[in-house]
Amino acid sequence: MATKPKGRQRCGRCHKDLTPGAFSPSRRGKVGKWCRECFRAYRKAKKGAKPAVRKAAPRNGKKSPQAYAAS
């Protein structure tokens, strides 16, 4: 069984052994499982998949502010 070097952490996505400083903090306040490079690539790909503009649904049958401006 291979052991990882002391003071290093393995990225769960690219499987590289990196220093803990190469990892972003997780939502729980601990060191994350993906390195910053993998997380950046994931966010960039996810951002490109979203539509450019999303309109909010009207609340309680009221017109949106954009609808009043158009009339």
Measured over the CA atoms of residue 32, residue 37, residue 38 and residue 44, the dihedral's sign is positive
**Does residue 54 sit in helix, strand or coil?**
coil
What integer pLDDT is reported at residue 51 of this predicted model? 63
Q: Which domains does the chain have, with CATH numbers?
A: 1-49 (3.30.60)
Instruction: Per-residue pLDDT tens, the chain, 71 aa: give them.
Output: 566 667 889 999 999 999 988 998 887 877 888 999 999 999 888 887 666 666 666 666 666 666 666 55
